Amino acid sequence: MFDIKWIRENAEAFDRGLKNRGMDPASAQAIALDDERRAILGKLQDAQARRNAASKEIGKAKAQKDEDTAQALMAEVADLKGVISTGEDDERRVDQTIETLLAALPNTPLDDVPVGADENDNALVRTVGEPPKFDFAPKEHFELGEALGLMDFETASKISGARFVVLKGALARLERALGQFMLDVHTTENGYTEVNPPLLVRDQAAYGTANLPKFAEDLFQTKEGFWLIPTAEISLTNLVRESILDESDLPKRFTACTPCFRSEAGSAGRDVRGMIRQHQFAKVEMVSITTADKGIAEHERMTAAAEDILTRLGLAFRTMLLCTGDMGFASQKTYDIEVWLPGQDAYREISSCSVCGEFQSRRMSARYRPSEGKGVHHLTTLNGSGLAVGRTLIAVLENYQQADGSIVIPEVLRPYMGGLEQIEAPAT
């Protein structure tokens, strides 16, 4: 959500941001509406001031038994009533129009974000680790999992339909191990507080992170009106909604491992096989709440925390700086981390870390009191996956597969697997 004052003072930057995202400029319309609002407000306030003054005089006149004066003043106030009532209606209407306009506009990309149309214009930031070499043709994760008899799409579809999976035995445990490992690293080494948040949220929470009103079709909704979270970003970021924090309490860092639910409307035909794109998946989310001047540093820190998980798992990856056309709605700047998948012979997204500036906090009314100076300011919010657990499982299977179909367990996960060193080859 934009601040209309900021748009007034930075109309050019605002329109450039929209243009870079492939949208039409909107500053002229927004400012015109705001001009209208100010004009209405001026008239309304004059009328209200006169009414307030007259009402006081009426009180005085009545106290002095000056009935004539009181009657005259009352007539005047009666006239003002219509002006005030119309003014209030007009103001509400214009406010609503402005709100609707602004709520549908995406955040302004930072200056160092490459301008581009789609993922082909993303910039490579770094490549870390070497893709493993195989002396056989590496399989895709679903081939491996199904051969092990521990990954069952058929049964899942009987229960829930397409885009669901049943994991069993060592694979079910591997998913749990991955989530635990990630949480342990983030809580003990990266300063994040573990949270077990609600998975069903209200309109206002989803609006706060800007999943609503524009992206309702991507979400599942219960018949009572709750939204199933598509990411714990919603729950964790809204932890600070409608509050005023002290700057000395910042930054706040939250992490959670939760199921995520996505309708995947509009992605029909994409990644139809396997666990890459599911209606339900586990993800460890990181959310940081800080001040505007610390946002960029926090963004780098968060991205490093996500990358560190991959490094420890011995998985090769590359980090991309998303271009303007590929960035999320609320983001000012986003890094995607892509893990190497031998079975697909490709890098695939496994984490996305974004800094959102004040875009979400304005929607949530989340503010802080600066240690120096006065007033309150909006917080800066960041979110990132650290990591998508389901896709990490895929990466482990494909990168650690052996010729016989067995899977070596990465060292760091073994304590979480009861010491298990590998998932045995399928019986032949």
Partner RNA sequence: GGAGAGAUGGCUGAGUGGUCGAAAGCACCGGAUUCGAAAUCCGGCGUACGGGCAACCGUACCGGGGGUUCGAAUCCCCCUCUCUCCGCCA
**Catalytic one among 16, 163, 362, 391?**
391
349 is catalytic: yes
* Using rule CB under 7 A, residue 370 touches RNA: no
Query: Which residues, in sequence order, are CB contacts of 381 under 8 Å at separation 6+?
Result: 237, 287, 288, 289, 355, 356, 357, 359, 360, 361, 366
Select from 52-60, 208-216, 317-325, 385-393 the region that touches RNA (CB under 7 A). 52-60
Tell me phi and psi for residue 289, to 5 degrees: -120, 120
User: Please, what is the minimum distance in Å from the beta carbon of residue 59 to RNA?
Assistant: 4
Please identify, using beta-carbon distances, which residue of 61 and 219 lies nearer to RNA: 61
Select from 39-47, 124-132, 280-288, 415-423 the region that touches RNA (CB under 7 A). 39-47
Cα 283 to Cα 193, 230, 240, 393: the distances in Å are 16, 10, 21, 11
User: Rule CB under 7 A: which of 196-215 touch RNA?
Assistant: 202
Strands 380-388 and 407-408: unpaired
CA dist., res. 164 & res. 10, Å (int): 46
- Choosing from 23, 117, 292, 376, the residue that interacts with RNA (CB under 7 A) is 376
**Catalytic one among 16, 37, 262, 362?**
262
Which token pair is 394?
A: 């895929």
**Residue 133 in 3-state DSSP?**
coil
Cα 65 to Cα 62, 71, 75, 152: the distances in Å are 5, 11, 17, 89
242 is catalytic: no
User: Rule CB under 7 A: which of 130-149 touch RNA?
Assistant: none
* Using rule CB under 7 A, residue 188 touches RNA: no
User: Please, what is the minimum distance in Å from the beta carbon of residue 292 to RNA?
Assistant: 15
Neighbours of 52 (CB within 10 A): 11
User: Rule CB under 7 A: which of 238-297 touch RNA?
Assistant: 244
Query: Which residues, in sequence order, are CB contacts of 142 under 8 Å at separation 6+?
Result: 151, 153, 273, 274, 275
- Choosing from 79, 89, 411, 424, the residue that interacts with RNA (CB under 7 A) is 89
* Using rule CB under 7 A, residue 93 touches RNA: no
Select from 23-31, 127-135, 176-184, 373-381 the region that touches RNA (CB under 7 A). 373-381
**Residue 151 in 3-state DSSP?**
strand
Question: What letter represents residue 21's amino acid?
Answer: R
262 is catalytic: yes
Bridge partner residues of 401 (DSSP): 407
Q: Where are the alpha helices (DSSP H) in 335-378?
A: 359-364
- Choosing from 33, 74, 83, 296, the residue that interacts with RNA (CB under 7 A) is 74
- Choosing from 85, 100, 160, 196, the residue that interacts with RNA (CB under 7 A) is 85
User: Please, what is the minimum distance in Å from the beta carbon of residue 45 to RNA?
Assistant: 4
* Using rule CB under 7 A, residue 189 touches RNA: no
Taking a C-beta distance cutoff of 8 angstroms, is the pair 8, 34 a contact?
Answer: yes
User: Please, what is the minimum distance in Å from the beta carbon of residue 166 to RNA?
Assistant: 21
Q: Which residues form the interface with RNA (CB under 7 A)?
A: 3, 5, 34, 38, 41-42, 44-45, 48-49, 51-56, 58-59, 62, 74, 77-78, 81, 85, 88-89, 92, 202, 244, 374-376
Active site residues: 262, 277, 349, 352, 391
